[in-house]
Amino acid sequence: MATPCLPAGATTGDSGGELSSGEDSGDMEFPQSPDAQASRSLGELFEKAAEHLQGLVHVASREQLLYLYARYKQVKIGKCNTPKPGFFDFEGKQKWEAWKALGDSSPQQAMQEYIATVKKLDPAWNPQTPEKKGKETNSGLGGPVVSSLYHEETIREEDKNIFDYCRENNIDHITKAIKSQNVEVNIKDEEGRALLHWACDRGHKELVTVLLQYKADINCQDNEGQTALHYAAACEFLDIVELLLQSGADPTLRDQDGCLPEEATGCKAVSSMLQRHRASKLVS
């Protein structure tokens, strides 16, 4: 997400919120409006609440942590601007849905709700009391609760395998690996998932097209019997579902639980498309 434009020569201060022009303004002071002062005070209280949250994990429910996570993101980034996580990222989807649900809520409202929840978790909390520094606590949401954000796992370049490049949508690397025959297009991971499964799971339509061009098995099933069509349907990628069907994907294949791709989705448009193709396939 692009950062706001700053005035020429301006730099962000250590607080992350104030600006310095880069010139010495001397002793001159400019009065702040009541609204500006209130906004600054709210922001400072919010940061203290985020810091205090580190020690409250043991009394916070998962629902409360998700609630706080969403509001922190709304304050720091704004409206949800990331694609829905893949089918396997259950934790990531919960966080994304909590953030997405806030819509266009203002940062001020999000800060107020965040602070109120921290106060509810610890009614005796005094923002004026300095926080004790200690070991970071894990939220159970994938990272320290210092901001109730989670840290994405960082994989060093030399440690990456072909599935990591697939998740990253690194089409050039995957194409070269397949062309050089260093990687077989239908290679599977330990769960029986092929590159096509992963590309569909992450919504990488262009990569799906490339893999199909290199003769990826469109009806390949993982260890649970699910095809790429199951994955694309579950993640509600209508354009990829359509691409797979046009390329010969079989909508009548069931997984080990007996579920059809159309039964793996909550999206009416996806399920309707799959039902139509399945019906036409049965008739033919």
The Cα 98–Cα 153 span in angstroms is 21
Instruction: Average the pLDDT over 251-266 and give the result.
Output: 92
User: Does residue 170 sit in the same domain as residue 253?
Assistant: yes
| CATH for 104 | 1.20.80.10
The Cα 183–Cα 185 span in angstroms is 6
Last residue of a domain, one of 96, 128, 151: 151
pLDDT at 95: 86
Whether residue 223 is contained in a domain is answered as yes
Last residue of a domain, one of 92, 118, 151: 151
| Domains: count for the chain | 2
Q: What is the pTM of this model?
A: 0.51
Please spell the DSSP secondary structure of 155-173, one letter per residue.
--GGG--HHHHHHTT-HHH
pLDDT at 26: 43
Instruction: Average the pLDDT over 222-233 and give the result.
Output: 94
User: Does residue 187 sit in the same domain as residue 242?
Assistant: yes
Of 102, 43, 48, 54, nearest to 78 by C-alpha is: 102
Last residue of a domain, one of 123, 151, 179: 151
Instruction: Average the pLDDT over 268-275 and give the result.
Output: 94
Please spell the DSSP secondary structure of 183-242, one letter per residue.
S-TT-B-TTS-BHHHHHHHHT-HHHHHHHHHTT--TT---TTS--HHHHHHHTT-HHHHH
Above pLDDT 70, what percent of the chain? 76
The parent domain of residue 50 ranges over 38-151
Residue 75 burial (CB < 10 Å; 0-12/13-18/19+)? buried
Q: Assess whether pLDDT exceeds 50 at residue 118.
A: yes
Q: Please state, in angstroms and as integers, the Cα–Cα distance from residue 268 to each residue in 1, 85, 236, 280, following that order.
A: 31, 19, 9, 18
Q: Is residue 219 very low, low, confident or very high in pLDDT (cuts 50, 70, 90)?
A: very high
Q: Which residue stretches of the chain are H helix?
A: 34-52, 62-76, 90-100, 107-121, 162-167, 171-179, 195-202, 205-213, 228-234, 238-246, 268-283
Whether residue 122 is contained in a domain is answered as yes
143-187 pLDDT, tens per residue?
333 333 333 345 677 788 999 899 889 999 999 999 998 899 999
pLDDT at 62: 84
Whether residue 10 is contained in a domain is answered as no
Whether residue 31 is contained in a domain is answered as no
Q: Assess whether pLDDT exceeds 60 at residue 244.
A: yes
pLDDT at 142: 36
User: Does residue 217 sit in the same domain as residue 268?
Assistant: yes
User: Does residue 170 sit in the same domain as residue 278?
Assistant: yes
Neighbouring CB atoms inside 10 A of 93's CB total 16
| CATH for 209 | 1.25.40.20
Residue with more model confidence, 153 or 221 = 221
